[in-house]
Amino acid sequence: MPEWREVTALHKKTISFRKGKALFGQGEPVKGIFFIYSGAVKIHAPWGDGREMIIRWARAGDIAGLRGLGGNTVYPISATALEDTTACFIGNEFLELSLKANPSLTYTLMHFYATELQAAEKRMRDLTHMDVKGRIAGALLDIARIFGTTDKGFLGVTLTRQDIAAYAGTTYETVFKFFTELTGADVITTAGKDIRINLRERLTQIAGR
């Protein structure tokens, strides 16, 4: 629908976020949703004792803020740029109009939301039933799948050990200790915060996949 793209162009706002800046924060009023153009984002929420749980990652082509729809007046989660990120912001009023007038957009958002819900349910099962090493191995595989790798084979996004721990539902110390074990076995190589998976099949085995 070329004519719809022209209308959208009049209502969208392109916003750039520096690394570490929030797209939106938990408890803030819901004003719309973000379509990620470039960069990397973590979707996260508090998880007791001052820690956070990273619910999912978002990359170019993904959506952030969808959980704020459906009657919520405030965002139940936060979104923070992991690297310099550019996003297209669509406000609530125009978004609701678009959903009513554009069935294709409605279907796309429904499909995205259903996929996100399925992934979230699987993550909760993994956090409940997998041992900590399996969760960390699974986190590395997920990150590689979502962000890809560089031409040198390193993960396509640079993450802190704390972020990996927050995604795997464990502690920084546990991730550090297990990374030392994986490095010693040449399963992964680390260069500062960058990580390269050398033996994907071994990680897959540890993750029980």
pLDDT at 17: 98
Helix (H/G/I), strand (E/B), else coil: 192: coil
Q: Domains plus CATH for the chain?
A: 2-126 (2.60.120.10), 130-207 (1.10.10.10)
- pLDDT digits 0-9 by tens, 179-188: 999 999 999 9
The pLDDT value recorded for residue 151 is 93
- Mean pLDDT for 55-76 is 83
Residue 4 has pLDDT above 60, yes or no: no
- 153-193 per-position pLDDT tens digit: 999 999 999 999 999 999 999 999 999 999 999 999 999 99
Query: Where does the chain show beta strands of DSSP type E?
Result: 13-17, 22-24, 32-38, 40-46, 52-59, 63-64, 78-81, 85-91, 188-191, 194-197
